[in-house]
Structure 1
Amino acid sequence: MKLKFNSLLFITLFALTSCATRDKLTKTPEQKKAELFYSHGTSKLLQKDYREALKYLKQAYEIDPKDTKILNNLGMSYYFLGQTKTAFKYLEESLDIDSKNSDALNNIGSLYFKNKEYDKSLKSYQEVLSNLTYRHQYRTHYNIGLIYLIKGEKDKAKENFLMANTQNQDYCPASYELGKLYLGEYRYNSALKWFKEASKGVCYENPEPIYMQAITQLQLENYAQAKEKFQEVIERFSSTRYSTLAHLKLKKINSEQILEKQAKETVLPNNLKSTNQFDSPSF
Structure 2
Amino acid sequence: MRKWIIALCSIPVVVSMMGCASTQNKEKADLYLRMGSSLIEEGNYPSALSALLKAQEYDPKNPLIMNNLGQVYFLRERYDLAEKQFRRAVTTQPNYTDARNNLSRVLIEEGKYADAEKELDIVLSDLTYGSADRAYINLGLAKFNQKQYPQAEQAFAKALKAKNDDCVASNYYGRSIFEQKDYGRAVEALDRAIGFCQKNLFDEPHYFSALAYYRLGDKSKASARFEELNKYYPDGKYREKAKGMLDLLRKGH
TM-score range for the pair, normalised by the shorter chain length: 0.7 to 0.9
Identical-pair percentage = 25
**1:107-256 equivalence runs, <5 A:** 107-204=102-199, 205-240=201-236, 242-256=238-252
Q: Indicate if the aligned counterparts of 2:18 and 2:26 stay in contact, CA closer than 8 A.
A: no
Distance in structure 2 (CA, Å) of the matches to 1:138 and 1:183: 21
Q: Indicate if the aligned counterparts of 2:108 and 2:141 stay in contact, CA closer than 8 A.
A: no
Instruction: Please state how far the C-alpha of 1:21 moved relative to its aligned partner.
Output: 4.1
Instruction: Indicate the SS of the match to 1:256.
Output: coil
Structure-2-length-normalised TM-score: 0.85
Q: CA RMSD of the aligned region, Å?
A: 2.7
Q: Indicate if the aligned counterparts of 1:9 and 1:110 stay in contact, CA closer than 8 A.
A: no
Aligned length: 250
Instruction: Please state how far the C-alpha of 1:101 moved relative to its aligned partner.
Output: 0.7
**1:34-113 equivalence runs, <5 A:** 34-81=29-76, 83-113=78-108
Instruction: Please state how far the C-alpha of 1:151 moved relative to its aligned partner.
Output: 2.9
Residues 147/70 of structure 1: CA separation in 2 closer, same or farther (3 Å cut): same
Structure-1-length-normalised TM-score: 0.77
Residue matched to 1:281? none
Instruction: Please state how far the C-alpha of 1:74 moved relative to its aligned partner.
Output: 2.6
Distance in structure 2 (CA, Å) of the matches to 1:218 and 1:64: 56
Residues 112/227 of structure 1: CA separation in 2 closer, same or farther (3 Å cut): closer
Instruction: Please state how far the C-alpha of 1:105 moved relative to its aligned partner.
Output: 0.7
Unaligned segments of structure 1, at least 5 residues = 258-283
Instruction: Please state how far the C-alpha of 1:192 moved relative to its aligned partner.
Output: 0.8
Unaligned segments of structure 2, at least 5 residues = none
Instruction: Please state how far the C-alpha of 1:94 moved relative to its aligned partner.
Output: 1.9
9-18 or 91-100, which deviates more: 9-18
